[in-house]
Amino acid sequence: MTYTSDTLPSFSGQTIDNGRYLLLDAIGSGAYGVVYRALDTKSDTLNPSYYAVKCLSKTELSTDQMLSQRREIHLLQMISGSPHTIVLHTVVEEEIYLYLIMEFSSGGDLYLAIKAKVYFHNDDLLKTAILQLLDGVDSCHNKGVYHRDLKPENVVCNEEGSDLRIIDFGLATKNRLCHDRGCGSSQYMSPECIGRGSTAHLYSALHNDIWSVGVVMLNMVTGRNPWRKAHFSDPVYSDFLADQEGALRDMLPISREFNDLLCKIFSIDPARRPTIPSLRQSIADIGTFYMSSYELADASGASRLAAGNIFPQVDLDTSTRESTLAKSYSGFHTQAAMDAFLAGWDGFDSDDSEILDLAEWGSVPPLHLSNGNSGPYSSDPFVLPDPEGGVSTGSSELSVSGSFGPITPETYADTAVGSIEDIPEMFSLAEPSITFDFAPPTSKAPPSERAVRKNVPRT
């Protein structure tokens, strides 16, 4: 399938807003747009200012996609300037293209920070970053905006990982109760958002965000996802439901206090999940996120295996990295992982391994274990053992998204039909009398200097 972002011309070297912003290198792409680092040509040459510019096409979009584009800008207006959320400075409109001039973060996204071991066994930095993430989510919720696609790729940070901003509001909503299940990225969706097997007609977007935050927190601490999706069909999630107090610590070297907090976040009953202020206090009170050396000595083989292979070195080039922390190549049963560990197998150490896409594999290489069993092993260090040992591409990686944000290349979140119900019919970007003309022109042209600038007031 060809996405709109694939058809956009290169904007590198072009200027917009009457020469004010010089677009430099592309730093991210989504389903319908590309994000560039841009130089403010009016800034001090000795201390230049840079911005992130999201370039969106107004052509080849369906009515729903146009409305979704307008919705994202509207919601960015609402939350711009809130603590630890991205700042939208200006919107520039041309005949064919829209440009969202936003705050630039030098460190890239949280995914890269996790893969670069920025948070590895650094409890103080983890606390700082997680508290900022919680503050960002809380500030959105307090303004009536629910993100619905929280994941490491949708959080940017500085190079030290100590200053976080939430980005990409393409799937966000103002509706606290939603009917469009399956909206977001499957590994980060709550069970009620996934919806299959649920009898409820609506789900809470607020409580879905809290669930997603729990998964992101676990990503930051361990570099792993707990499961591919929170559904009974996922064997690892089923194991968690059968043993909620012990399942995560059987697989990951996390402290008991962090495990207890995660169990509250991952409550099957949304109403029993902690509030953001309660989560904030719990994080502040945590002594450590990790097992002690004494606990590890008595831990399961899987936990010890994970402790020795958290955050392995990989290529951090955004053009070749895995599309998401949860991208699945294969997995194997927890017991098999324990057997392999006890036999001295070092199969998770992928420091020198080449990252391959599923399409390039053809077939999954078998792993022969000491107990005579064999099964596929995971070349992706961020996937927990799969009791069934099966291969999965994950639904979110291959789905078209309504998101226009700088998500990881080749990664598209799921969006459900009818998820744009909260867009005002007479939406405007600035004054009520000013509206965008979203009628698609007849031809496509490179960026033009003849732009209309619309200043976006901070709210």
Number of neighbours of residue 249 by Cβ within 10 angstroms? 22
What pLDDT sits at residue 180? 82
Among 222, 200, 170, 392, which residue's Cα sits nearest to residue 191?
200
Would 459 be classed as within a structural domain? Answer: no
pLDDT at 42 over 70: yes
The reply to whether 117 sits in an annotated binding site is no
Backbone phi and psi for residue 207, each to the nearest 5 degrees, phi listed first: -70, -25
Q: Are residues 147 and 223 in the same domain?
A: yes
Q: Are residues 273 and 350 in the same domain?
A: no
What pLDDT sits at residue 7? 76
Indicate which residue of 109, 149, 209, 234 is catalytic.
Answer: 149
State mean pLDDT over 104-112.
93
What pLDDT sits at residue 378? 35
Q: In the structure, what pLDDT confidence band is assigned to residue 164 with cuts at 50, 70 and 90?
A: very high
Considering 245-254, 321-330, 343-352, the range whose residues carry the highest mean pLDDT is 245-254
What pLDDT sits at residue 404? 32
Q: Regarding predicted confidence, which is higher, 170 or 432?
A: 170
State mean pLDDT over 97-104.
95
Q: Are residues 426 and 282 in the same domain?
A: no
**Catalytic residue list contains 149:** yes
State mean pLDDT over 59-84.
89
pLDDT at 321 over 70: no
What pLDDT sits at residue 4? 60
Q: Are residues 78 and 208 in the same domain?
A: no
Q: In the structure, what pLDDT confidence band is assigned to residue 153 with cuts at 50, 70 and 90?
A: very high
CATH code assigned at 89: 3.30.200.20
Burial class of residue 51, CB neighbours in 10 A (0-12, 13-18, 19+) = buried
What pLDDT sits at residue 196? 59
By DSSP bridging, strand 164-166 and strand 366-368 are unpaired
Q: Are residues 153 and 122 in the same domain?
A: yes
The mean pLDDT of the chain is: 73
Q: Are residues 290 and 437 in the same domain?
A: no
Q: Are residues 213 and 94 in the same domain?
A: no
Q: Are residues 177 and 231 in the same domain?
A: yes
Domain count along the chain? 3
95 Rama sector, left if φ>0, alpha if ψ -120 to 50, beta otherwise: alpha
pTM: 0.71
Least confident residue range of 2-6, 99-103, 298-302? 2-6
Least confident residue range of 48-52, 202-206, 360-364? 360-364
Helix 276-285 / helix 256-265 crossing angle, nearest 10 deg: 170
d(CA 439, CA 61) in angstroms, rounded, equals: 10
**Helix or strand (DSSP H, E) at 103:** strand 97-103
Would 457 be classed as within a structural domain? Answer: no
CATH code assigned at 163: 1.10.510.10
pLDDT at 400 over 90: no
d(CA 367, CA 375) in angstroms, rounded, equals: 5
Are 23 and 14 in contact, with CB atoms under 8 Å apart? yes
State mean pLDDT over 355-375.
30
Among 167, 224, 82, 130, which residue's Cα sits nearest to residue 413?
167
Residue linked to tokens 């009170």:
285
Range of the domain at 375: 328-393
Would 215 be classed as within a structural domain? Answer: yes
Q: Are residues 298 and 427 in the same domain?
A: no
Would 11 be classed as within a structural domain? Answer: yes
Are 338 and 301 in contact, with CB atoms under 8 Å apart? yes
What pLDDT sits at residue 360? 29
Would 42 be classed as within a structural domain? Answer: yes
Residue linked to tokens 């899987």:
302
Are 267 and 273 in contact, with CB atoms under 8 Å apart? yes
Would 267 be classed as within a structural domain? Answer: yes
Q: Are residues 121 and 40 in the same domain?
A: no
What pLDDT sits at residue 60? 77
